[in-house]
Chain A
Amino acid sequence: MNDPREALPLTALTYHILLTLADGDRHGYGIIKEVERRTGGEVVIETGTLYHAIKRMLDEGLLESVPSSERPEGEDQRRRVYRLNPWGRKVLVAESLRLRKLLRVAEEKNVIPGEAS
């Protein structure tokens, strides 16, 4: 699987998690809080759903957990911190481009107003 487009489309949950990790590493609780904040409380991920997704994304090689040696001193070591790996970033970019294309179509058909106008 060298072409990230083969992995598309992503579920909303996967996309949210990838997006959240795009600008920094986070642990599970951090991901939930960030998604909640960013969407104004519209998307709340349950603990069970999140870890199921994280496990799947780790298996699929989209994420990796940050080795404890790279984590700051004093941080609770029980808590794993997750980071986007290069493949995950590629998939995220590909999905974002795909979504942009779709939105363009919606704009052209005047379903939603275009950004420029």
Chain B
Amino acid sequence: MTFHEPYSPPRFLSGLLWVSLRFYPREFRDSWSEEMEETFFRRAADVVMDRSTKGLLQFSVREFWAMFRAGIRLRMEGVSLLGSGHNPGPIRGDHERGIRCLAGVPADLKVAARGLGKAPGFTVAAILVLALGIGINATAFSVVKMAVLAPPPFPEAHRVVMVDMLRKDGEEDAGRSGRWPYPMLLAVEELENRFIEPLAGFDDGTVTLTGMGPATEIGMEIVSPGYFEVIGIPFPLGRGFTADEAEEGGPFRVAVVSYSFWRGRLGGDSSALGRVLELSGESFEIVGVAPQGFAGLGGDAELWLPLGATAVFRPGRRAQDFNHQIWVVGRLRPDATIEAARDQMGVIAEGLSDRWPGSRYGMSARSLPEVWVNPRAETSAKLLAIAAAMVLLVACANLSGLLITRARRRVRDGAVRMALGAARWRLIRLYLVESLVLSTLGGILGIGLAFLGNRGLSSAWPDGFLNGAGLGLRVNDPRNLALDGTVLGFAFLIVFLTAVLVGMAPALRVSKGDFARDLKEGTGATRSGKRVWGLDTRATLVGGQVSLALILLIGSGLVSKSLRRLMTVDEGFRTERVLTFEYSLSQSTPPIDYVDNSTLPDRITSAADFDDRLIRRLDALPEVEAATVGCGVLQGYCAVVGVMGVDGRRLEEPPSIAVITVHDRYFEVLEIPVLRGRGFTPQDGLSSNPVVVLSASAAETYFPGVNPVGHLMTIEFAVRGREQAEVIGVVGDVLYGPPDATGVPVAYFSTQERRFANHALIRTSVRPNVAVRAIRSEIHAMDPTVAMSGIASAEELVSRSAGDRRIVFGLLGLFAGVSVLLAAIGTWGIVASSVTNQRRELSLRIALGADRRVILGQVARDSATAAFFGLAGGFGGALAGTRLLDTFLWETSAQDPQTYFFGVSFLFVVILAASYFPGRRATRLDPAQALKAE
């Protein structure tokens, strides 16, 4: 026996096998699937080696069919063997018997293919409709799978826990919950007998990589030694971090790089170990390569540094009790439960409050699979899936209607067959086979569409969906959107389901007919059939389509209204022609250490000097009107801290306040109005008295009804000894987060006094994206070690902040459009066929001088009734169903009357039009010709 080299089969084969194996009973699969898989792939490899792609396709079809047949027979045998004890069964015969039971199918297939071939227009339309329905559903399912069903990709993921820091009362604290202050982590790490062991922190951020091409800002995480143990995936190369490296005085100048960094920038061989990276002017030696695909729990890391690196990248942070900076994760000990761990963390937090009397925080733990799913992404995925299912139902109803029309035309054909002795079920089977052929072809095309759909979605998937419930976990990677075996299996399932849904109505309808009368009356006898509320089957189907279309229409209308409202929110600053980007400080500027008071003034001054130089050079560019520096707008706050006191009075439960550090021209450049007092001047800084500017909402919160200028505020985030600052002014409220998030009052400080993020905000004289090139080369000329990142115009940021609603609106709108179109086609269809069928009667009436409106009324009766019931049903359905949309609505009621009115009237007009045009034909019938044709 020859042994082949390991061979990686085309992906579709794995999917095919996965689906095929599902035909077998579970017991059989349990003991045989592994072996069958092995044999299957070795044979596939043979086929690939000695035949063409056509051979592979042939092979797949044969194998699929054989497994389907064997699986079904095993299931049937399993049922008949139950209870009869051991029955060796006949050795002969059953192979042949199985064939006989399916003997008619190929013949039916031929009949179906011939019938469909004769009506190419119908066939193409049907396949397109189904492809759309199936494609949309396969796409929706892959989204659900990625966003909801996919488990965290770590070994024994149920034991990985996220250790939260919450307020003592268990409430979340906007902007501060979750992350821990460094000293707390260090203290908890030292405790023994924890249920969560190992425990690790990660602090995400960026560093500037130089010495490898142009200076670039890359994502990194500063992690404690247990981090990679918590992840639990072995390293392809090198090692993680040791306890020594977690010390600021230790040998911390080591780094782990991501797999893609290693492959992309370091050539991907073992010589990468020991290479030295230049990071923001500091040297780090590579000691390991992280597992493939792992981008850190924050999701953006290309690089990991040991905790000791805080010495250079987070100076002073390890001593700051108030600065919530580091996320904490851990692994549950095998003998511990999550409840026990949660209780223990509570006790630990109690114990720590002795050391930190001011601590207002408690600790808790949640298992990773629990927090893994981003609720917003989950809701949108489910919404998408439901909407997609509705589109599929509309498509099925539509096609079913088309098939019924076809069936009626062929009613004589069926009657002849039955008169000649065809069994009723053979007739049903013929129709089912026909719809199976249609849905299979539609399914194949639909999978193609789903492939495109996934590609489109993964590029449009909004960033806001990526962060797992705000825990710093990036979980839903759009790269995971793939048509894998599960999705293909799901697509096959829908194909079968559609076939049954579509084929059943016409099959039953035809097989129940009175064939003697059908034979006599032929194609003319088509107004018979059961009626419900005055509607025949086809009209009922159209009514259903109208209902579903209305629900989708109203849903997308509501989301679009919220979107419009969001877009018109006043950001509170100028967004037109404003460019923002983050820059790294020059390497000659030392990082700021807030704890070391002796060096602080120098360091802040040198950073502020750098800002000044930058602003002066940018201001000189013709593309720039005015430049300033601060924290990013619309991208969150610099920090959220506590207000310890007002006018010297201590606040017991310090409320949260957001901090933004700004350059003195910030308010002027962004056109933020100064409502009271003044903004900052170049004189405000470490050498003068501490001053603060409040936002209007902060002024209202802390100084209700009085002019806050001249009052004092004590804010936690501060240089020691300068906590108490004088309020010098009040400015208008500005959006720092997404428009629908609850805002926090804001306190502004001068960058000459303290600073966090470095964002440049530039008012340009040309379009912002045109100015980028000049700005970039100016900065490079000033200092080549300065990296720019996150370049965007303010307008882009505004539209990005509505990203998830945009995608939900886009998809719902698309679905609504498709179903309205289908409902219109359905309506058109019943009116047109009603004209055809009543031709004789209508001609007589016209000949006798009937009014045209009466004629129109008669042919449109069915569609009008269908539309009435459909609109009523859809209205009710929308009222009941739009609650699902709540998450995506903003300042828009789910029962918004305007949207409902618009939806109903729009659909009404569409149906009217769809009835009028075919109906008009009835009024133009030439009686003589119509009667002759009979």
Q: Which residues of A contact B (CB under 8 A)?
A: 1, 7-14, 27-30, 32, 44, 46-52, 55-56, 59-62, 76, 78-80, 91
Among B33-41, B453-461, B621-629, the stretch in contact with A: B33-41
A32 and B91 contact, Cβ closer than 8 Å, known pairs A46-B67, A48-B66, A80-B35? no
| Contact between B43 and A60, CB atoms less than 8 A apart | no
Across-interface contacts of B40 in A (CB, < 8 A) = 47
Task: Say whether B70 faces chain A, with CB atoms less than 8 Å apart.
Answer: yes
| Contact between A28 and B35, CB atoms less than 8 A apart | yes
Q: Which residues of B contact A (CB under 8 A)?
A: 1, 20, 28, 32, 34-36, 38-40, 42-43, 62-63, 65-71, 73-74, 88-89, 91-96
| Contact between A10 and B39, CB atoms less than 8 A apart | no
Please give me the residue from chain A that is nearest to B20 by CB atom.
A48
| Contact between B38 and A79, CB atoms less than 8 A apart | yes
Complex A-B, nearest 6 residue pairs according to Cβ-Cβ distance, in ascending order:
A48-B67, A46-B66, A52-B70, A48-B66, A29-B39, A48-B70
Q: Which of B20, B38, B91 contacts A7 (CB 8 A)?
A: B91
Across-interface contacts of A62 in B (CB, < 8 A) = 91
CA distance A91 to B91 in the complex (A): 11
CA distance A56 to B40 in the complex (A): 19
| Contact between A32 and B36, CB atoms less than 8 A apart | no
Using A11-B93, A51-B36 as known contacts, list a sample of 13 further A-B pairs with CB atoms less than 8 Å apart, ordered by residue number in A.
A9-B92, A28-B36, A28-B39, A29-B38, A46-B65, A47-B36, A47-B39, A48-B67, A49-B66, A51-B35, A56-B89, A79-B35, A79-B38
Chain B at the A interface: SS class: helix
Across-interface contacts of A48 in B (CB, < 8 A) = 20, 36, 63, 66-71
| Contact between A47 and B67, CB atoms less than 8 A apart | yes
Q: Which of B70, B88, B92 contacts A10 (CB 8 A)?
A: B92
Please give me the residue from chain A that is nearest to B3 by CB atom.
A76
CA distance A62 to B90 in the complex (A): 13
Across-interface contacts of A12 in B (CB, < 8 A) = 95
CA distance A60 to B43 in the complex (A): 27
| Contact between B38 and A51, CB atoms less than 8 A apart | no
CA distance A52 to B29 in the complex (A): 11
Across-interface contacts of A11 in B (CB, < 8 A) = 91-96
CA distance A11 to B94 in the complex (A): 9
Please give me the residue from chain A that is nearest to B95 by CB atom.
A11
CA distance A34 to B267 in the complex (A): 46
CB distance from A56 to the nearest CB of B (A): 7
CA distance A103 to B258 in the complex (A): 71
CB distance from A90 to the nearest CB of B (A): 13
| Contact between B63 and A47, CB atoms less than 8 A apart | yes
CA distance A80 to B43 in the complex (A): 16
| Contact between B88 and A47, CB atoms less than 8 A apart | no
Which interface residue of A48, A62, A80, A91 has the most chain B CB atoms within 10 A?
A: A48
Across-interface contacts of A46 in B (CB, < 8 A) = 62-63, 65-67
Across-interface contacts of A59 in B (CB, < 8 A) = 88-89
Please give me the residue from chain B that is nearest to A60 by CB atom.
B88
CB distance from A75 to the nearest CB of B (A): 10
Q: Which of A1, A8, A60, A78 contacts B35 (CB 8 A)?
A: A78
| Contact between B42 and A51, CB atoms less than 8 A apart | no
CB distance from A113 to the nearest CB of B (A): 29
Across-interface contacts of B65 in A (CB, < 8 A) = 46
CA distance A12 to B67 in the complex (A): 18
Please give me the residue from chain A that is nearest to B87 by CB atom.
A59
Please give me the residue from chain B that is nearest to A54 by CB atom.
B32
Across-interface contacts of A51 in B (CB, < 8 A) = 32, 35-36, 39, 70
CA distance A91 to B88 in the complex (A): 15
Which interface residue of B62, B68, B70, B73 has the most chain A CB atoms within 10 A?
A: B70
CA distance A47 to B32 in the complex (A): 11
CA distance A79 to B35 in the complex (A): 6
CA distance A9 to B66 in the complex (A): 23
Across-interface contacts of A29 in B (CB, < 8 A) = 38-39, 42-43
| Contact between B91 and A14, CB atoms less than 8 A apart | yes
Please give me the residue from chain B that is nearest to A11 by CB atom.
B95
| Contact between A60 and B42, CB atoms less than 8 A apart | no
CB distance from A105 to the nearest CB of B (A): 20
CA distance A78 to B28 in the complex (A): 16
Across-interface contacts of B88 in A (CB, < 8 A) = 1, 59-61
Q: 22 A-B residue contacts at CB 8 Å?
A: A12-B95, A13-B95, A14-B91, A29-B39, A32-B39, A44-B62, A47-B43, A47-B67, A48-B36, A48-B63, A48-B69, A49-B66, A51-B36, A51-B39, A51-B70, A55-B28, A59-B88, A59-B89, A78-B34, A78-B35, A79-B35, A79-B39
CA distance A55 to B153 in the complex (A): 36
Which interface residue of B20, B69, B91 has the most chain A CB atoms within 10 A?
A: B91
Across-interface contacts of B67 in A (CB, < 8 A) = 46-48
Across-interface contacts of A60 in B (CB, < 8 A) = 88-89, 91
CA distance A48 to B98 in the complex (A): 14
| Contact between A52 and B35, CB atoms less than 8 A apart | no
| Contact between A47 and B66, CB atoms less than 8 A apart | yes
CA distance A1 to B40 in the complex (A): 35
Which interface residue of A1, A29, A52 has the most chain B CB atoms within 10 A?
A: A52
Please give me the residue from chain B that is nearest to A45 by CB atom.
B66
Across-interface contacts of A10 in B (CB, < 8 A) = 91-92
CB distance from B925 to the nearest CB of A (A): 58
CA distance A1 to B70 in the complex (A): 27
CA distance A55 to B88 in the complex (A): 12
| Contact between A52 and B43, CB atoms less than 8 A apart | no
CB distance from A20 to the nearest CB of B (A): 13
CB distance from B351 to the nearest CB of A (A): 53
Across-interface contacts of A56 in B (CB, < 8 A) = 89, 91
